[in-house]
Amino acid sequence: MPTLRLALCQVNPTVGDIDGNADLIRAWARKAADAGAQLALFPELMLTGYPVEDLVFRRSFVAASKAALQRLAADLAADGLGDLPIMVGYLDADGPPQVSADAEPGKGARNAAALLHRGAVAATYFKHHLPNYGVFDEDRYFVPGNTLTVARIGGVDVALTICEDLWQAGGPFAVARQAGVGLVLNINGSPYELNKDDIRLPLVRRRAAEAGAAVAYVNMVGGQDELVYDGDSMIVGADGMLLARAPQFVEHLLVHDVELPPAKEPVDQGEELADDMRVVRIKVSDILSPAPTGELAVGGIIEPVADEAEVWQALVLGLRDYVNKNRFPSVVLGLSGGIDSAVSAAIAVDALGPDRVVGVSLPSQHSSEHSRADAEELAKRTGLDYRIEPIQPMVDTFLANLSLSGVTVENLQARVRGVILMALSNQEGHLVLTTGNKSELAVGYSTLYGDSVGGYNPVKDVWKTLIWRLAKWRNADAERRGETPPIPESSIGKPPSAELSPGQLDSDTLPDYDVLDPILIGYVDGDLGRDGLIASGHDPAIVDKVLRMVDTAEYKRRQSAPGTKISHKAFGRDRRLPITNRWREHG
């Protein structure tokens, strides 16, 4: 049986940087070739980055993608890599955008893959299954393909597929079985969610069984706005055995030798029909470039890490790429001494290094001495740039000119802090990080244009109870490595408080977080109604209070900063509710 050395290039493209992404492909193709690869794979829409959203509607952008693909094929050949078949995702179109007046039925923009070989585009494939749930809007942008491309590579029949084709039964993988392929290639832009790695392997195994073929699954890595891609690329045999698996959240070249069945019939280039899909067979090469002699290439199997470690890596990578890809030199955030700002600061230091993080203590007359000390202690432990900017003189000036009282004075303090952070941003070029957790955002426990001010929120999709777990994990991880834990124990252990009035605690306004979070998770993530929450064991009076707070805070969430998505249903593109909405879960 033929043995094919596969190289899965788990890399980090940038949306819109077509030339930079092409350079990335060339560099990693060289690494693959140096490792003796005989077939290399790059992620979904690798050439343009993913998702490109409404850039799809710009004909100039589509034309740039198509032209870049042709240049890339020629450049790879000029680099001496022409004999290495390379599968790469790109944006194509065979007609006007579907939203245009001159749109044609069944034609338009395509989420496409190309097989590059010997300086040319040897084969193409258009994504068949288009996801239209959660963060995906592909029915808005693309027209589905109805043809399975089967390429003959070194005597093995190989089918080309893209991302969602793997997530749905039927379609390309079922047709691949009828076509008698030995290997299915699946290139992905699959965003991270907690425990999604536990779903992928059984899924790839099911598709391998459906196709009766080995599956090579390559996923991109890196951050794109609120999404973060975790990689987790893998190769699974036709029998469902996991052969190789890449680590999460890092660029990685997974090289593995796979024994595959030879094609049974001479290749007959042309078309045939199977399950309402056409099959197009193309001969790419009869003879593979020789693999190095010696031992077989073994990609290895990376074992999954603990949930807290996985989430921390996602948050670090999401923030790092948002800052770097948008070319911010540094970040600034308020350090209150509380757990949320402490975790956010530790994430920022891990993502960018202490020299690119500015932490500002903004004490008022209500700021406790222990909170000021905790903020200073965190700064010492992490080495970030620490500053103190007292807000009371500015608050007093407002109060001397306005007649304010009660919660309005509390909000004023938060807004003065926001003004200071934005002033430092404007003056010095920092990106302001806001630090409200998902529980606070859910119930509206924040001040618009105050503690909600900022350009990015690294903990936007993190429930408060998970914030504490992350803090404890990060400190324990530091101790295991013989390093100083970044987060003061007193920040973790003390009762949470906004410290905007004497003796204030979060529990004055909210249920305890270990009571609140399960209700929010059921309502926000699980779409449970009042009856379902009560049936789950929650107190009806608390449920009514919490749901009222969530429902009336939609206008605040609509104005919140973007932040890294780690859950099944993040606020924003995952959960879309009208602001003007009189529907309530009645008690």
Directed axis angle between helix 464-480 and helix 307-325, to 10°? 100
- Is 214 within 8 Å of 157 (Cβ atoms)? no
| Residue 252 identity (one-letter amino acid) | H
Residue with tokens 């699959």: 190
- Is 474 within 8 Å of 344 (Cβ atoms)? no
- Is 124 within 8 Å of 161 (Cβ atoms)? no
- Assign 583 to helix, strand or coil: coil
Tokens of 120: 């040319």
- Is 457 within 8 Å of 562 (Cβ atoms)? yes
HEC letters along 184-195: EEEEECCECCCC
Cβ neighbours around 191 below 10 Å, total: 24
Task: Give the N- to C-terminal CA distance of the chain in Å, as an integer.
Answer: 67
Directed axis angle between helix 172-179 and helix 196-211, to 10°? 30
For residue 483, indicate whether it is catalytic. Answer: no
User: Strand locations in 49-155, DSSP E?
Assistant: 86-93, 109-117, 120-126, 147-153
9, 127, 226, 440: the catalytic one is 127
44, 193, 308, 377: the catalytic one is 44
- Nearest CA-CA partner of 459 in 312, 351, 270: 312
Please state, in angstroms and rounded to a whole number, the distance separating the CA atoms of residues 127 and 147: 9
9, 53, 104, 163: the catalytic one is 163
Tokens of 62: 């589509």
Q: Are strands 270-274 and 252-259 parallel, antiparallel or unpaired?
A: unpaired
For residue 44, indicate whether it is catalytic. Answer: yes
Question: In the sheet where 252-259 sits, what is the strand order?
Answer: 120-126, 109-117, 86-93, 39-41, 3-10, 252-259
Tokens of 547: 């749901």
- Nearest CA-CA partner of 358 in 450, 428, 414: 428
- Is 307 within 8 Å of 198 (Cβ atoms)? no
For residue 127, indicate whether it is catalytic. Answer: yes
Q: Are strands 109-117 and 120-126 parallel, antiparallel or unpaired?
A: antiparallel
Tokens of 506: 């979060």
Output the furthest CA–CA distance in the chain (Å, rounded). 89
Catalytic residues: 44, 127, 163
